[in-house]
Amino acid sequence: MRRYKIKQIDAFTDRPFGGNAAGVVPSADGLTDKEMQLIANEMDLSETAFILNSDIADFRIRWFTPKKEVLFCGHATVASLHALAEEGKFGMENDGEYSFKVETMIGVITVDVIKSSNIQIVLHSPKISLVRENIDMPAFLDALKIKEDEIDLSYPIMRETNLDYLYVPIISLGTLKNIDYDYSKLLKFCEKYNFPGVCVFTKETFDDDSKAHSRFFAPLYGVREDPVTGSAQGPLGAYLLINGIIDFEGSEVNIKSEQGDIMDRPGRLVINLTKDEYGNFSSKLISTAVTVLSGEIYLP
């Protein structure tokens, strides 16, 4: 009988039962692809992360939904680094600042850890590339069960081309709260355009100092709604800057973003955005996490 340590960690929050829950297997070497998928299905969380040895980085992370492996997952990466820091792995036995290169399916990414009385994770998001997107608007409106005037058409609908997420501005927080979409219709819409995820958001927020509140639907991954989606937040911050919703002065800006309140799992994070001399945006997500469950899983 093989035993693997496994944790459930709430990411993008400073309290249990908030933010987005992820499973983490801190030492996953020896597991097969099928076993990782079975464990993710057993955990039944939006994603479970598996930390493995790497020949090209400090370590490797793979992410699985209950249905399939995904290219990248922000909240489960935050959860993974929180778990490693908590256990003092990869040299993190003592308080201090640490930086790691992490091998993923989308390339090698950077994640920083600031360990003191609490653990702060700084996730360097993958490259951001936003373009305007033309969609079948009647089909989209029908799937979301909203009217065209509930979309804020003063701003464009955009696709992030690296992850293929769709970004759609919504006119108000009230409209965002009331979206109760048709899963099968949105799945069909996403299949047509190859959108793994749809981020709908508004400038109206719960907290006065926040700049956007979002919801994220991922029917292609079998996820009806994700509480707090790290992979979607960096591009969302870039969207706000590109379209003049946030003023950009100097070389960088911090944007507080919200997600999850509508699911009773409020999450908060800071999106740090910088722009290079060619006008390209890059982002860091600054956040915390909380371990809510720690144990072992038994395999034959």
Cα–Cα distance between 261 and 23 in angstroms, integer? 21
CA distances from 93 to 122, 200, 291 (A): 18, 40, 17
Q: Which residue has the tokens 């910088």?
A: 274
Per-residue tokens: 236:
């969302």
pLDDT at 157: 98
Cα 163 to Cα 51, 167, 194, 197, 213, distances in angstroms? 21, 12, 10, 9, 20
Q: What is the pLDDT of residue 196?
A: 94
CATH code for the structural domain at 2-127+287-299:
3.10.310.10
- Give the separation between CA 123 and CA 109, rounded to whole angstroms: 8
Equal CATH topology for 2-127+287-299 and 130-279? yes
Q: Which residues of the chain have pLDDT under 50?
A: none
pLDDT score, position 6: 98
Q: Which pTM does this prediction carry?
A: 0.87
List of residues 6+ apart from 86 with CB closer than 8 A: 119, 291
pLDDT of residue 81: 98
> What DSSP state is assigned to residue 126?
P
Q: Per the residue annotation, which of 47, 86, 103, 150 is the catalytic one?
A: 47
Q: Distance from first CA to last CA of the chain, Å, rounded?
A: 5
Segments in 162-252 forming alpha helices (H)? 173-178, 183-193, 230-242
At residue 276, the pLDDT reads: 82
Quote the CA–CA distance of 54 and 194 in Å, as a whole number.
30
For the chain, domain boundaries: 2-127+287-299, 130-279
Residue 278's pLDDT is 79
HSE value, Cβ hemisphere, 13 Å, CA-based, for 78: 34
| DSSP β-bridge partners for residue 297 | 4
Do 160 and 193 form a contact (C-beta atoms < 8 A)?
no
41-63 pLDDT, tens digit per residue, is 999 998 999 999 999 999 999 99
Query: Any catalytic annotation for residue 296?
Result: no
CA distance 91 to 86: 11
Comparing CA positions, the residue from 71, 118, 85, 120 lying closest to residue 7 is: 85
Q: What is the CATH number of domain 130-279?
A: 3.10.310.10
